[in-house]
Amino acid sequence: MKPGVVHLQIESTRDPFFHDILARVLKEAGRVESIVRNLLAFARDTPNQHHPLDPAKVIEETLSLCQTQLVTSGIHLQVDTAPDLPCIRGNRQQLIQVLLNLISNARNTLNEKYPETDPAKILHITTSRCRHEGRDMVCLSVEDRGSDIPQHHLAHVKEPFFTTKPEGKGTGLGLSISHDIIKQHGVALEITSVPGEGTRIDIRLPIEEERTEPQGNGTAR
């Protein structure tokens, strides 16, 4: 059953027993969707499918897929896009997938730390120019004010199947797949987590040298 159909049925059912069952169906459907999405990315080795992309458009497209969930969770979303950013070179679909994984992790930790609304329930997405090993690059950062990642977990969070979620809730593949995808784009994903402040993940992407028409105006497939 499609998640949209389940949503409609949940809204229209008054029986608490069926409501509970449908809510569980919806949750499991979301989990299966995330596993399939991640496995598909594993199966695709697409270094040759990198194109010029407008970073702001990649973020816009990602948010169009997850903004409703953020709003429902009461998360304050701040997006700061540096003006006149150059095009990056990358795989649009994979970059959207990485951002969705990072945003999903941020949403989880923020919901855990602040089960209700809170002025500090903030997710901050920024794009900026940066330099890495003498190269000009574009940096996309996803930063949350949720619980930090303990130091002894930091070395493991990029490993496949590492998760602190209760059994059956997380695959532990989100960060490891994201890390692989970003490595394929050139520079490893960098995680900074500070006790009491939250977590920031930086993705550095190569700049498209030639001036070509960017992709990223279509819908995600």
Ligand X SMILES: Nc1ncnc2c1ncn2[C@@H]1O[C@H](COP(=O)(O)OP(=O)(O)OP(=O)(O)O)[C@@H](O)[C@H]1O
Residues forming the site for ligand X (CB under 6 A)? 34, 101, 105-106, 109, 144, 146-147, 149, 157, 162-165, 170-176, 199
**DSSP 3-state assignment of 218?**
coil
Binds 106, which of Mg ion, ligand X, none (CB < 5 to 8 A, cut-off by type)?
ligand X
- Smallest distance from the beta carbon of 174 to Mg ion, in angstroms? 3
Q: Which is nearer to Mg ion, 199 or 214 (CB)?
A: 199
Q: Which is nearer to ligand X, 53 or 102 (CB)?
A: 102
Q: What does the alpha-carbon distance between residue 221 and residue 63 come to, in Å, rounded to a whole number? A: 15
Cα distance from N-terminal residue to C-terminal residue, the chain: 20
- Smallest distance from the beta carbon of 198 to ligand X, in angstroms? 7
Scanning 22-30, 85-93, 170-178, 203-211 for contacts with Mg ion by CB under 5 A, the matching segment is 170-178
Binds 144, which of Mg ion, ligand X, none (CB < 5 to 8 A, cut-off by type)?
ligand X
- For residue 188, give Cα distances in angstroms to 137, 176, 183, 201: 13, 11, 5, 11
Near Mg ion by CB under 5 A: residue from 52, 55, 146, 174: 174
Handedness of CA 133, 202, 140, 87 (dihedral sign): positive
**Which residues are within 8 A (CB) of 81 and not within 5 positions of it... i.e. 6 or more apart?**
55, 56, 59, 126, 127
Q: Which is nearer to ligand X, 58 or 157 (CB)?
A: 157
Q: Which is nearer to ligand X, 59 or 175 (CB)?
A: 175
Q: Which is nearer to ligand X, 129 or 165 (CB)?
A: 165
Binds 162, which of Mg ion, ligand X, none (CB < 5 to 8 A, cut-off by type)?
ligand X
Phi, psi of 34 (to 5 degrees): -65, -40
Near Mg ion by CB under 5 A: residue from 62, 94, 105, 178: 105
- Smallest distance from the beta carbon of 170 to Mg ion, in angstroms? 6
**Which residues are within 8 A (CB) of 140 and not within 5 positions of it... i.e. 6 or more apart?**
55, 58, 59, 99, 125, 126, 127, 202, 203, 205
**Torsion angle of C-alpha atoms 50, 78, 105, 51, degrees rounded to 10:** 0
Handedness of CA 163, 165, 167, 172 (dihedral sign): negative
- Smallest distance from the beta carbon of 172 to Mg ion, in angstroms? 8
